[in-house]
Structure 1
Amino acid sequence: MSEIPVEEHVPSRPAHRDPNVLRWLGAYASSMLGDNVYYIALSWAAVQAGSPAQAGIVMATSALPRALLMLGGGVIADRLGPRRVVIGSDAVRCAAVLAVAALLFLTSPALWPLAALALVFGTVDAVFMPAVGALPARITTKDQLARVQGMRGLAIRFASVVGAPLGGLGVAVGGAAAAFGLAGLLIAVSVPLLLAVRVRELPADDRTGGQRGTAWRDLKAGLSYIRRHRVLAPLMLAVALGDLGFVGPFNVGLTLLADRRGWGASGMGWVLAGFGAGAGAASLLLTVRGRLPRAGLVAAVTILAGSVAIGALAFVPSLVGAVGVALLVGLLAGLSGAMCGALLQTQADPAYLGRVTAVSSLVSLGLAPLGMPFAAAAIGAWGLGPVYVVSAAVCGLGGVVALGVPGLRRAELPR
């Protein structure tokens, strides 16, 4: 699976009309859809096989290897190339899910194969996520990366909206085994599409990316590269603070808010739907526009405005008002996330993108969720309002960093 040189492939049309990008998008959407069905199947099978506490342990099993191995996964993505790593990751995940589906067809559900599957997924995700983040910069030009971020956001929203009911339908028709089988087939669809994606080779001078010896040396070179970079270093800090302030209110905090307001599970669903609609609108805007000027400033302002909306959510008395605020949060978070993602991809040297994406993913998916138990404990001790305000302040600090660092505030996306 060697990379195919595409120096001649310089798109003269927008990314959403480029067949090469559309093949990648189809592969990504299918893989994400399979992921969503997989999580429904895993949670259902785990509840059927054990107690709620045991099911929770199974669901959390993938988090530890993902967090521990993510930085190493970035090194692998840069060494082997993101396309090759994504193809291999999807192939392994497909095989693992289909193996468990076959096992469940033949036997009754048990916890050990489910825990093993979650462990495999977490381990593979540690290399899959950095490679996924590094791949867009190798299939299109820099001026199209903001549009690609919008397209990727739409794929994520599509997978979230369709994946849950599709997984539920699979469980209803044939149990967890059928749902696992469906997930495996959806992930499998991504492999031939990815094989057809053409990838730009790095220039000869950029291929090493600090890779002169051991993987440990490569990792240190990548971290040093981020630390010295005038845009990437403050960008990582802004992302970390934004995610840390966001995770608590929109996960455990929203559940408690819906319960205390008497909105119930359906009300919480409407609030989440409002957020998803706002985030989807932001992705659609970027897909159509392709580029927003003054990207660094836009990221800073939308983070700050989004933090105010997050804090306000705890003080909105009605469900309709909460849905409206959540829609605003989704729109602002979608814009800031897409701008940060596009800046990350355009500012980083392609040879380092796997490691840069690994650090960003570790911050967002590995470290930020650790704040959820603290948010729950704080809500129990001091109530919803103070915790939402503090969380909003932490999130807002990310915007302050983006606004206060000249290199990041003035950063632009390529034309």
Structure 2
Amino acid sequence: MSEATASASDAHISATVPLSVPAHRDPNVLRWVAAYTASMVGDTVFYLALSWAAVQNGSPAEAGIVTAVSAVPRALLMLGGGVVADRFGPRRVVIGSDAVRCVTVLAVAAVLFATDPGLWLLALLAVVFGAVDAVFMPAVGALPARITGKDQLARVQGMRGLAIRFAAVVGAPLGGLGVAVGGAAAAFAGAGLLIAVSVPLLLFVRMRELPADDTTAARDTTAWRDLVGGLRYVRRHRVLGPLMVAIALGDLGFVGPLNVGLTLLADERGWGASGMGWVLAGFGTGAGVAALLLTVRGRVPRAGSVAAGALVPGAAAIGALPHAPGLPAAVGIAVAVGLLTGLSGAMCGALLQTQSEPVYLGRVTAVGGIVSLGVAPLSMPLSAAAVGVWGTGPVFAVSAAVCALGGVVALAAPGVRRAELPG
């Protein structure tokens, strides 16, 4: 079953969205962006509250396990989540996911207000949140192509990037305020209410109907065939297949240095926590500028070449970071890393949206999510161990080489290199 064959109660929101309306002026897209922003801010508050509560109720090692355990069901179930998004419709799945997340977080907040159950409840909450994320993330990735025209998808990716940056900037202070005022319970309650804001907004987001052939195909196959068919579709596609390889290599080279590697670099260079914060702020600023550029411009010519080409100098900037002569130079390099990798990432996201047939978008997004959330995090412990043996310089250099290889793979693929966004 697909959203296009849903009950008549959804008919009033299935109107066709005009192609000519720029996404940043389209009320339908703006409702989705507002809902997504509220949900992302709630996510940020949630993870801060979870970390705080875990630290207060256990040892550092136990707290680390609690905060990381949500990644397991998310990685294991995400391909299935992509099938769910494609079969039942991304809007319906996102609404249901946000509703479940909201109720779960508010229930835990109520329990924490009444008693102190210990780490087991926090671990259970993390597992539930990760499992719901496994269907939420593919559905979120499949929504843009169903609410606006293909010619607006690059702009929507820019708007989505701005929402993520806004959530990172606003969510942490809100979570800290909640903890300061009423402890972890108050912060969880705030997270639940923020996620709840997204539900009524999503109820009024209008959806494009899939072509009749696509809805019939989605209805007549089994879930297992859907999953296998989605993987086969990505593997055989002249753009999506090599693009997924490029994304995997880019994320593998990027995640380690910009997470655990940066912490170790700041300690090695004597920048301290504040210095690390300035470098992260530089990265966020660059990524925000890239998102704003796409939001305003809407379309970038030679999108495939830009996505691949921006990754190579971005990788070079990653390799240069440990050799910065001082903190100001490191911040400047971080801005360049954020700008170039942010531009590449947004263009890759737009290409995934425009090159995929709508009936496959949930599964295509799920494959990308597995790459980013399942494969790339493996580089963090490896980066930490390697820094301990060889130091930051060689490790950042290897990471930069891996990241650059992703750009080379994309540039070597004619389908990616010649890919264009609809005009």
TM-score by length of 1: 0.98
Counterpart pick for 1:238 among 246, 255, 259? 246
Question: 1:178-212 CA distances to partner (integer Å, 9 max, x unpaired)?
Answer: 00000000000000000010111101012255664
Counterpart Cα distance in 2 of 1:397 and 1:7: 43
Deviation at 1:393, TM superposition (A): 0.4
Query: How large is the RMSD of aligned CA atoms in angstroms?
Result: 1.1
Q: Which residue is equivalent to 1:318?
A: 326
1:43 to 2:44 alignment? no
Counterpart Cα distance in 1 of 2:253 and 2:262: 13
Question: 1:4-31 CA distances to partner (integer Å, 9 max, x unpaired)?
Answer: 4645431432101000000000000000
1:202 to 2:233 alignment? no
Q: Which residue is equivalent to 2:3?
A: none
Q: Which residue is equivalent to 1:373?
A: 381
Counterpart pick for 1:141 among 140, 149, 152? 149
Residue 17 of structure 2 contacts residue 207 of structure 2 at CA under 8 Å; is this kept in 1? Answer: no
Q: Which residue is equivalent to 1:90?
A: 98
Residue 244 of structure 1 contacts residue 371 of structure 1 at CA under 8 Å; is this kept in 2? Answer: yes
| Matches for 1:243-392 after TM superposition, within 5 Å | 243-392=251-400
Residue 87 of structure 2 contacts residue 218 of structure 2 at CA under 8 Å; is this kept in 1? Answer: no
Where structure 1 has 5 or more consecutive residues not aligned to the other structure, the ranges are: none
Counterpart pick for 1:80 among 52, 74, 88? 88
Q: What's the secondary structure of 2:257's corresponding residue?
A: coil
Counterpart Cα distance in 1 of 2:114 and 2:60: 24
1:120 to 2:160 alignment? no
Question: 1:366-415 CA distances to partner (integer Å, 9 max, x unpaired)?
Answer: 11001111111111111111111110000001100111111100000000
Residue 210 of structure 1 contacts residue 222 of structure 1 at CA under 8 Å; is this kept in 2? Answer: no
- After superposition, the Cα gap between the structure-2 partners of 1:349 and 1:70, relative to the gap in structure 1 and judged at 3 Å, is same
Q: What's the secondary structure of 1:226's corresponding residue?
A: helix
Counterpart Cα distance in 1 of 2:278 and 2:251: 22
Residue 348 of structure 1 contacts residue 356 of structure 1 at CA under 8 Å; is this kept in 2? Answer: yes
- After superposition, the Cα gap between the structure-2 partners of 1:209 and 1:301, relative to the gap in structure 1 and judged at 3 Å, is farther
Counterpart Cα distance in 1 of 2:252 and 2:333: 19
Question: 1:65-92 CA distances to partner (integer Å, 9 max, x unpaired)?
Answer: 0010010000000000000000000000
Residue 16 of structure 2 contacts residue 207 of structure 2 at CA under 8 Å; is this kept in 1? Answer: no
User: Which stretch has the larger CA shift, 247-256 or 10-19?
Assistant: 10-19
- The AA in structure 1 aligned to 2:172 is A
Residue 17 of structure 2 contacts residue 149 of structure 2 at CA under 8 Å; is this kept in 1? Answer: no
User: Which stretch has the larger CA shift, 16-25 or 210-219?
Assistant: 210-219
Deviation at 1:61, TM superposition (A): 1.1
Counterpart Cα distance in 1 of 2:327 and 2:205: 45
Q: Which residue is equivalent to 2:221?
A: 213
1:106 to 2:114 alignment? yes
Counterpart pick for 2:237 among 229, 241, 248? 229
- The AA in structure 2 aligned to 1:228 is R
What percent of counterpart residues are identical? 76
Q: Which residue is equivalent to 1:70?
A: 78
- The AA in structure 1 aligned to 2:100 is V
Give 4+ residue runs of structure 1 displaced > 6 Å after superposition: none
Counterpart Cα distance in 2 of 1:225 and 1:217: 12
Question: 1:298-333 CA distances to partner (integer Å, 9 max, x unpaired)?
Answer: 011100110000000011130100000000000001
User: Which stretch has the larger CA shift, 340-349 or 370-379?
Assistant: 370-379
Counterpart pick for 2:411 among 388, 403, 412? 403
Counterpart Cα distance in 2 of 1:51 and 1:8: 54
Question: 1:200-255 CA distances to partner (integer Å, 9 max, x unpaired)?
Answer: 11010122556643211110000011111000000000000000000111011000
Question: 1:96-115 CA distances to partner (integer Å, 9 max, x unpaired)?
Answer: 00000000000025111111
Residue 162 of structure 2 contacts residue 291 of structure 2 at CA under 8 Å; is this kept in 1? Answer: yes
Q: What's the secondary structure of 1:293's corresponding residue?
A: coil
Q: Which residue is equivalent to 1:186?
A: 194
Counterpart Cα distance in 2 of 1:243 and 1:106: 42
1:55 to 2:36 alignment? no
Counterpart Cα distance in 1 of 2:108 and 2:398: 43
Where structure 2 has 5 or more consecutive residues not aligned to the other structure, the ranges are: 1-5
Counterpart Cα distance in 1 of 2:17 and 2:313: 39
